[in-house]
Amino acid sequence: MYTVLKVARLPDMLSEGLHARYEVLECSESGSELDASKARGIRALVANGESRVRADLIGRLPDLQVIVVFGVGYDGIDVAAARARGIVVTHTPDVLTDDVADFAITLMLGTARRIAKADQFVRSGQWQQGPFGFTRKVSGARLGIVGLGRIGMAIARRAAAFDMRISYHGRRPLAVDYPYYASLTELAAAVDFLVIAVGGGESTRHLVDAKVLAALGSEGILINVGRGSVVDEAALASALAQGRLLGAGLDVFEDEPRPHPGLLALDNVLLAPHMASATWDTRRAMSDLTLANLAAHFSGAAYPTPIPD
């Protein structure tokens, strides 16, 4: 039986699948508790989309050949260190696209229509003192998408059904009909809703900074289903607190599971615990794909979903 090393909390359905097929060892992201004799012979490591697999952990595993990520994002994996050793990295794209796009729309509607506040308003009996205030219309509004990849495109398709006017920012213009903005600040200034659908890592760190938030403005709403690191969370909390931004809907945070404390006190931000892809169906599909990538490794077959070059 092959041994796999698990460095992340995984859903039971995947853990059970792993235990049924492999000997499973667990360790922390630092791997400091792994002694050399245990580390030897480990060819596969299982992580999730939020895991940090750094060069020092990779260095402790002399026989490592594959890092299998349960999630589409792999910004926590030191891909350069893995590649330098010829270690393959796989992830679970596509199967979660619908859920993440659905959740972006959920956050957009929920933030604009202040649904969490409205629920509280009814439960607390405040309704008996008078009506709830007005909220912001979504249909027909201008939507800027940051990152028009698989998930960004799925968001655009859904938003089109709300008659939203879509434009986007990314590294380069794509062969689509939506207007492209090379400057994110200019895109932010031109839209009502800005939705982040890019991954994390150094290249996107704090892409949404105080300047972009100022351009989005006091009538603007920011939605993030990409990675928390893309947004300067302190700048966001301050813009929301001072009414320089109308609202934000966030599924991801810079330091999960600890959102910036300034955000927790505000009622113009809708907070979710990184749950966009967490439906039964999708987590099952992600688990199956994770197991398929592992099986391919041990049987010498082509990996179903290696990360792109």
Instruction: Give the three-state DSSP class for 42.
Output: coil
- Which neighbouring-strand residues pair with 269? 248
Q: How many CB atoms lie within 10 A of CB 253?
A: 21
Helices (H), 161-204: 184-190
Residue nearest to ligand DGY (CB): 49
Active-site annotation, residues? 227, 256, 274
At 202, which helix (H) or strand (E)? none
Closest to ligand DGY by CB, 31 vs 49, is 49
User: Does the bond joining 62 to the residue before it have cis omega, within 30 degrees of 0?
Assistant: no
Closest to ligand DGY by CB, 164 vs 276, is 276
Sheet holding 247-250, edge to edge: 165-169, 142-146, 193-196, 221-224, 247-250, 269-271
CB of 23 to ligand DGY, least distance (A): 25
Question: Which residues contact ligand DGY (rule: CB under 6 A)?
Answer: 48-50, 71-73, 96, 277
In degrees rounded to 5, what are phi and psi of residue 285? -65, -40
CB of 72 to ligand DGY, least distance (A): 4
Closest to ligand DGY by CB, 73 vs 220, is 73
Closest to ligand DGY by CB, 63 vs 256, is 256
CB of 195 to ligand DGY, least distance (A): 15
Terminal CA-to-CA distance of the chain, rounded, Å? 31
